[in-house]
Amino acid sequence: MPLAARTVLVTGASRGLGLTFVKQLIKLPSPPEVIIATCRNPSGASELQALSQANSSVKVVKLDVEKDEDIEECVKTTTSAVGEKGLSLLINNSGIFEPVGTKSRDVDVSKGKDDHEKGHLTVTKLFGGSLEDQSRALMQKHFNVNVTSPIILVQKLLPLLKKAAAQKSSDPLSCSRAGVVNISALLASQDFTQNYRGGVSLHYKCSKTALNMATIMLDHELRDAGILVTSIHPGWVKTDMGTDLGHMTADESIAACLDTMAKADVKSAGKMLNFDGNVLTF
Ligand SMILES: NC(=O)c1ccc[n+]([C@@H]2O[C@H](COP(=O)([O-])OP(=O)(O)OC[C@H]3O[C@@H](n4cnc5c(N)ncnc54)[C@H](OP(=O)(O)O)[C@@H]3O)[C@@H](O)[C@H]2O)c1
């Protein structure tokens, strides 16, 4: 059964995967009645604004996830937009992966066991991000956007998520009832990193690994309130972040992610799911 969340909030909806979530949510057989599509700069998000003009369910809301005053305003706007329905689904999609240390590294891509590893190493070469490239500011920025902000958003939106969960109190745990989806990354998997030792991107990987821990902890806190919390790896996708080397288009990735969200149940809670629904090891 396709996803049937009544109200959804997506962060980072200006471009890339966030924008594609909005595009595909409105086309679902039972589309959300309200989609809060947040972005840092609404006047510059022309594609999102066009979607909002053509679809009355899409409300564009300013939100820089690093700014507490934006979060406060966004919660107020969301509260009045969703009303008694509450918030069925929060998609914590905003994320950063700043390319640092672009100088070429001595990485032998021919050693890759498969295309994914070869591609991964190629991008790693482009992005750098080894120990010498790190700074306190870079690390803190990645933790702020990729971990702290998703946690604070869940905290501030919790009354609305609980309201949505309570309205379907006899339903099992699902993203259609009430859910938090943290967009994570395979690069956050400690298991993957142990096996593919060539990769760096220390700042990004540490932050997304911490996001996965947040998913586990939030599941512990929110499951009994009927809220499903999970992480999803969207695949390696052709976006500004994923570069043209990505393996799939944003449309392909998000179609698969929405399908996975529709099927997510108690077995998915506190886990990192691949876009295709398989559980990834942490
Ligand atoms: N693409 C991939 O291959 C891939 C793989 C694994 C995981 N992911 C994850 O998927 C998510 C989306 O990635 P993407 O590929 O769509 O990246 P993207 O094309 O770089 O888009 C990133 C989005 O995050 C927003 N953002 C950045 N900083 C923000 C802030 N402080 N406040 C609010 N929004 C902010 C950006 O807004 P602006 O337009 O204002 O900059 C933009 O909408 C990220 O969490 C990423 O880590 C992506």
| 146-180 residue pLDDT tens | 999 999 999 999 999 999 999 999 999 999 999 99
Predicted pLDDT of residue 99 = 84
Q: Residue 22: is its pLDDT beyond 90?
A: yes
Quick: pLDDT tens for 263-282: 999 999 999 999 999 999 99
User: How far is residue 175's CA from residue 177's CA, in Å, rounded to a whole number?
Assistant: 5
23-41 average pLDDT score? 98
Predicted pLDDT of residue 149 = 98
Domain containing residue 41: 7-97+137-280
Quick: pLDDT tens for 108-138: 444 444 455 555 555 555 567 889 999 999 9
For residue 15, is it within any domain?
yes
Is 20 in contact with 46 (CB distance < 8 Å)? no
Strands of the sheet containing 89-92, edge to edge, are 58-62, 34-39, 7-10, 89-92, 179-183, 228-233, 272-274, 279-280
Is 127 in contact with 89 (CB distance < 8 Å)? no
Is 32 in contact with 40 (CB distance < 8 Å)? no
Residue with token string 């200006």: 14
For residue 122, is it within any domain?
no
To the nearest whole number, what is the mean pLDDT of the chain? Answer: 92
pLDDT, greater one: 194 or 147: 147
What distance in angstroms lies between residue 145's CA and the mean position of ligand 1's atoms?
10
The distance of Cα 117 from the centroid of its chain, to the nearest Å, equals 23
For residue 222, is it within any domain?
yes
In which band, very low, low, confident or very high, does the pLDDT at 253 lie, cut at 50, 70 and 90? very high
Q: Give, to the nearest 10 degrees, the angle between helix 16-25 and helix 46-54.
A: 10
Predicted pLDDT of residue 128 = 79
For residue 173, is it within any domain?
yes
Quick: pLDDT tens for 57-67: 999 999 999 99
In which band, very low, low, confident or very high, does the pLDDT at 90 lie, cut at 50, 70 and 90? very high
How many domains are there within the chain? 1
Query: What amino acid is encoded at 146 in this protein?
Result: N
For residue 265, is it within any domain?
yes
Residue 33 maps to which CATH number? 3.40.50.720
> Ligand 1: which atom is nearest the Cα of residue 246?
3
| Mutational pocket test of ligand 1: of 98, 206, 241, the residue with most ligand atoms within 8 Å of the beta carbon | 241
In which band, very low, low, confident or very high, does the pLDDT at 200 lie, cut at 50, 70 and 90? confident
For residue 128, is it within any domain?
no
Listed in order, strand segments (DSSP E) in 122-185 are: 179-183
Which tokens in the block code for residue 20?
Answer: 């594609």
33-43 average pLDDT score? 98
Spatial neighbors of 145 by CB under 8 A, at least 6 apart, are 65, 66, 94, 95, 96, 207
Q: Residue 103: is its pLDDT beyond 90?
A: no
Predicted pLDDT of residue 112 = 44
User: How far is residue 228's CA from residue 5's CA, in Å, rounded to a whole number?
Assistant: 12
Predicted pLDDT of residue 106 = 43
Q: Is the CB of 78 under 6 A from ligand 1?
A: no
Q: Kindly report which listed range (163-177, 193-207, 246-260) carries the lowest average pLDDT score.
A: 193-207
Q: Residue 215: is its pLDDT beyond 80?
A: yes
Nearest to 50 by CA among 89, 94, 7, 19: 19
Predicted pLDDT of residue 113 = 45
Q: What residues form DSSP beta bridges with 230?
A: 181
Predicted pLDDT of residue 198 = 64
37-48 average pLDDT score? 98
SS3 state at 234: coil
Residue with token string 């914590």: 92
Q: Is the CB of 95 under 6 A from ligand 1?
A: yes
For residue 120, is it within any domain?
no
What's the Cα-to-Cα distance from 19 to each of 24, 86, 104, 211, 218, rounded to whole Å?
A: 9, 22, 32, 21, 26
67-91 average pLDDT score? 98
User: How far is residue 179's CA from residue 176's CA, in Å, rounded to a whole number?
Assistant: 7
For residue 203, is it within any domain?
yes
Is 47 in contact with 41 (CB distance < 8 Å)? no
Q: Is the CB of 17 under 6 A from ligand 1?
A: yes
Q: Is the CB of 239 under 6 A from ligand 1?
A: yes
Predicted pLDDT of residue 195 = 86
